[in-house]
């Protein structure tokens, strides 16, 4: 990654926050939907999780983020409360393989308004917050159920 520091007319680190957007890794609904768009209505795809390829994509991004030095500058990670997004956020920006939060990892916060859709497709519906909290105890869910009564 090329440094932008020399391209700005002011000290960016004092006045700016840099926002990086990351899409989740490949999830089960991506594979099934490519084969048959009607499959996206299947209850078997409820809150679709990452595929093995999606997990490889997450590991690759994690390596790139660490190798570039970007990881040390991240202050906050905001994610959708969908499983595939939290798996991606945790795998890329959390402590790999550990559930403990460390001072060297950025805070991860699930925010309901980050969901791409609030429709009828089971793959776009999320689990109860109690289930998410048990699975991802290092994620802050205080903003996850504000606009959805499926807490």
Q: Domain holding 63: CATH number?
A: 3.40.50.1240
| pLDDT for position 95 | 61
Chain centroid to CA 126: 13
Q: Report DSSP state, residue 26.
A: P
Residue 151 lies in a domain: no
Q: What is the span of the domain harbouring residue 110?
A: 24-143
Strand (E) or helix (H) holding 131: helix 129-135
**Could you tell me if residue 10 is inside a domain?**
no
Alpha carbons 135 and 17: distance in angstroms, whole number = 30
User: Looking at the domain assignment, is residue 12 inside a domain?
Assistant: no
Structural domains of the chain, count: 1
Q: Does 13 have pLDDT greater than 80?
A: no
Does residue 16 sit within a domain?
no
H/E segment holding residue 142: strand 139-143
Q: Where are the beta strands (DSSP E) in the chain?
A: 76-79, 107-111, 139-143
Among all chains, which residue has been given the structure tokens 């991860």? 108
CB atoms within 10 A of CB 26: 21
62-116 pLDDT, tens digit each: 999 999 988 988 989 999 999 999 999 999 998 655 444 555 788 999 998 887 6
Confidence of residue 5 (pLDDT cuts 50, 70, 90): low
102 belongs to a structural domain: yes
Residue 8 maps to a domain = no
Q: Rounded CA gap, 31 and 48, in Å?
A: 11
d(CA 57, CA 30): 14
Residue at 87 is within a domain = yes
In a domain, 9, yes or no: no
Say if CB 83 and CB 119 are below 8 A apart.
no
């Amino acid at each position: 990654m090329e440094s932008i520091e020399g391209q700005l007319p002011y000290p960016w680190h004092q006045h700016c926050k840099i926002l990086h957007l990351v899409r989740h890794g490949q999830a089960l609904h991506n594979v099934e939907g490519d084969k048959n768009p009607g499959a996206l209505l299947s209850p078997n795809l409820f809150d679709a999780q990452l595929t093995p390829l999606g997990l490889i994509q997450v590991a690759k991004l994690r390596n790139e983020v660490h190798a570039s030095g970007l990881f040390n500058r991240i202050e906050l990670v905001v994610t959708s409360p969908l499983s595939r997004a939290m798996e991606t956020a945790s795998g890329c920006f959390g402590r790999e393989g550990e559930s403990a939060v460390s001072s060297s990892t950025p805070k991860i916060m699930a925010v309901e308004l980050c969901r791409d859709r609030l429709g009828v497709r089971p793959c776009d519906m999320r689990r109860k917050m109690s289930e998410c909290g048990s699975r991802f105890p290092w994620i802050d869910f205080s903003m996850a159920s504000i606009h959805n009564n499926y807490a």
